[in-house]
Amino acid sequence: MNDSFDLPRNRVLIVDDDAELRALVSETLDRHGFVALEAGSVAEAEILLARYPIDLIILDIMMPHEDGLSFCKRLSHGPGPLILMMSALGGSADRIVGLEMGADGYLSKPCEPRELIAHVKAVLRRLPKHGSTTSEMVSVIEFAGWQLDLIGRYLRNPDGVVIDLSTSEFRLLRVMAERPKMVLTRDQLLEATRAHDFESYDRAIDIQISRLRRKLGQDGTRLIATVRNEGYQFAAAVVRR
């Protein structure tokens, strides 16, 4: 679960109304091999998201018009880029709220450039491994009549109905379906699906598993089994196409 890999030229979108800070963050990212784009508002960010494939959004909370939390919540309802909150609101309650809204990581302002890059790399490890067989050759994972489309990033039930998954639910199901019959601990699932910042909310995986089981309907508990004192196991046989 601790796979390391060379990061490709990931596109990172900085969304912050502080132009000076955006420039500093953009310069730091450029120096470390990332492609940085900037937006001064949620409205500007949405234009760039429609125009370019974005891997990660570095998102401020306190902005005019629509704030970062609202934007994060909207993005988390469907497949989309990873989100690293970067805010002057650095209390534990603020971090938990941000992560519960769907952020993949949370960084307090001000921060050192090395800390920023470390958080960016940690969050980007949630992306499929560059060069992996699954990412490049497998487009659909089938199990018990269900289909998880890795390209379209959606789930189709045995009746052919598309089931809406949030970004975090899609990642969690994918991680488990790619490792059928393997018992995965909560820490391993956190590591594979989210940034380390979520450790402060240690029931996050249990809550996500519960939501995912509900999406899987009557098959939920059978497909995602609880292994007492160890973690969870994806119990279905899997076919990769």
pLDDT the model gives residue 77? 66
Among the candidates 103, 124, 145, a domain finishes at 124
Is residue 1, in this structure, part of any structural domain at all? no
Pair (16, 117) in one structural domain: yes
CATH number at residue 58: 3.40.50.2300
Q: How far is CA 190 from CA 2, 102, 151, 152, 165, in A?
A: 11, 14, 23, 23, 18
Question: Position 229: which residue type?
Answer: N
Percent of the chain exceeding pLDDT 90 equals 30
Say how far apart CA 62 and CA 68 lie, in whole Å.
Answer: 6
How many separate domains does the chain show? 2
pLDDT digits (tens, 9 = 90+) for 85-103: 888 876 677 778 878 878 8
Pair (106, 26) in one structural domain: yes
Pair (47, 143) in one structural domain: no
pTM value is 0.51
Pair (146, 204) in one structural domain: yes
Interhelix angle 204-215/167-177, nearest 10 degrees: 90
CATH number at residue 190: 1.10.10.10
Is residue 6, in this structure, part of any structural domain at all? no
Indicate left, alpha or beta for 122 from its phi (over 0: left) and psi (-120 to 50: alpha). Answer: alpha
Is residue 113, in this structure, part of any structural domain at all? yes
Pair (104, 165) in one structural domain: no
The parent domain of residue 26 ranges over 11-124
Q: Which residues contact 80 (CB under 8 A, 6 or more apart)?
A: 49, 167
pLDDT digits (tens, 9 = 90+) for 10-40: 789 999 999 999 999 998 988 888 888 999 9
User: Residue 133, SS3?
Assistant: helix
Per DSSP bridges, beta strands 231-234 and 224-227 are antiparallel
pLDDT at 201 over 60: no
Reported as half-sphere exposure (CB side, CA atoms, 13 A), residue 130 has a value of 10
Among the candidates 124, 155, 183, a domain finishes at 124
pLDDT digits (tens, 9 = 90+) for 95-128: 788 788 788 888 888 888 899 999 998 888 877 5
Is residue 225, in this structure, part of any structural domain at all? yes
Is residue 2, in this structure, part of any structural domain at all? no
Interhelix angle 42-51/68-76, nearest 10 degrees: 30
Pair (94, 162) in one structural domain: no
Percent of the chain exceeding pLDDT 70 equals 85
